[in-house]
Amino acid sequence: MLERPSRAMVITAHPDDEVGCAGTVALWANKGTEFCFVVCTNGNKGTEDPDMLLDRLAEIREKEQRDACEKLGVRDVVFLRYPDGELEDTRQLRMEIVREIRRFRPDIILTHAPTNDNRHIHRDHRVCGISTLDAIYPYARDPLHFPELTEKGFEPHKVGTVLLWSSSDATEYVDITETVKQKREAMLCHRSQFVDRPSRDTKTEPAWFVYEGAKRIGEQVGLEYAEAFHKMTFRV
């Protein structure tokens, strides 16, 4: 059983990737956990519409992400605005993630599992996951890493726990029965992905996969609806 943190950060590759953890976010936010979302790319390739413009889609998706966060009770949303599909494991990306960790000072970070034994992981998800783990340890922790941040007052910060979604080795299950509805409402805010792009959803009801996915995970541990994470702990 995971203890509810007082401060938590969600770091995703794309707008809408919080589908991996939004039930847990809602559960904890409803009880008073303060959240910050960091979204690494602008999601500007996520369409099947050949007439869509890159800048236009980036703008739409940022608005959708803000709306989804509002449904989850999250107001602090940071967009790093890297181009979709082009996230690279660079010093600049690590620096920006470290900056946000040192600014918000979370107890827990939720992000993508960078690897999965059973399936291929989207390149941006891999890069986001591994860059986040690297940012936590050692870069956010040690003052001589990114001295330009330390000089600006972004003091070192130790994160004790990381929860990785989409892992093939789940160690924690969160009962989201009371927030699965709220999770679906949040995902429905990503209209360009789940409402106006019906090929991503096989059912007639948009974003119904939220219920199906949470039910499938819940069945593994005798819960009605759940989310699963691989937990990693760091010395603080």
Binding mask 194-223 for Zn ion (x = CB under 5 A): ------------------------------
Q: Transcribe 137-205 into DSSP letters.
A: IIITT-TTSSHHHHHTT-------EEEEES-SS--EEEE-TTTHHHHHHHHHT-HHHHTS-GGG--SSS
Which is nearer to Zn ion, 105 or 197 (by Cβ)?
197
Rule CB under 5 A: which of 76-135 touch Zn ion? none
Q: How far is the CB of 128 from Zn ion (least distance, A)?
A: 8
Residue range at the interface with Zn ion (CB under 5 A); choices 12-20, 153-161, 200-208, 220-228: 12-20
Rg (CA), the chain: 17
Q: Binding residue for Zn ion (CB under 5 A) from 15, 17, 135, 164?
A: 17
Tokens describing residue 115:
């690897």
Query: Quick one: 13 or 140, whose CB is closer to Zn ion?
Result: 13
Stretch that binds Zn ion, among 15-23, 29-37, 165-173, 181-189 (CB under 5 A): 15-23
Please work out the total of residues on this chain that contact Zn ion, with binding judged by CB under 5 A. 3
CA distances 227 to 23, 67, 172, Å, are 7, 22, 8
CB-wise, 14 or 126, nearer to Zn ion? Answer: 14
C-alpha 69, offset from chain centre: 11
Q: What's the chain's length in residues?
A: 236
H/E element, 77? strand 76-82
Q: What is the nearest approach in angstroms of Zn ion to the Cβ of residue 122?
A: 6
Q: Which is nearer to Zn ion, 14 or 99 (CB)?
A: 14
Rounded CA-CA distance 182/26 in Å is: 7
Q: Report in angstroms how near the CB of residue 13 gets to Zn ion at its nearest.
A: 5
Stretch of 14-22, 28-36, 142-150, 220-228 lying at the interface with Zn ion (CB under 5 A)? 14-22
Number of C-beta neighbours around residue 197 at 10 A: 16
Nearest residue to Zn ion on Cβ basis: 14
Sign of the C-alpha dihedral, residues 102, 107, 112, 113? positive
Say how far apart CA 37 and CA 60 lie, in whole Å.
17
By CB under 5 A, which span of 8-16, 33-41, 61-69, 169-177 interacts with Zn ion?
A: 8-16
> Is 14 a residue that touches Zn ion (CB under 5 A)?
yes
User: Measured between alpha carbons, how far is 81 from 29 in angstroms, rounded to an integer?
Assistant: 25
Query: Which residue lies nearer to Zn ion by CB, 59 or 219?
Result: 59
- Is residue 62 within the footprint of Zn ion (CB under 5 A)? no
User: Which residues of this chain interact with Zn ion, rule CB under 5 A?
Assistant: 13-14, 17
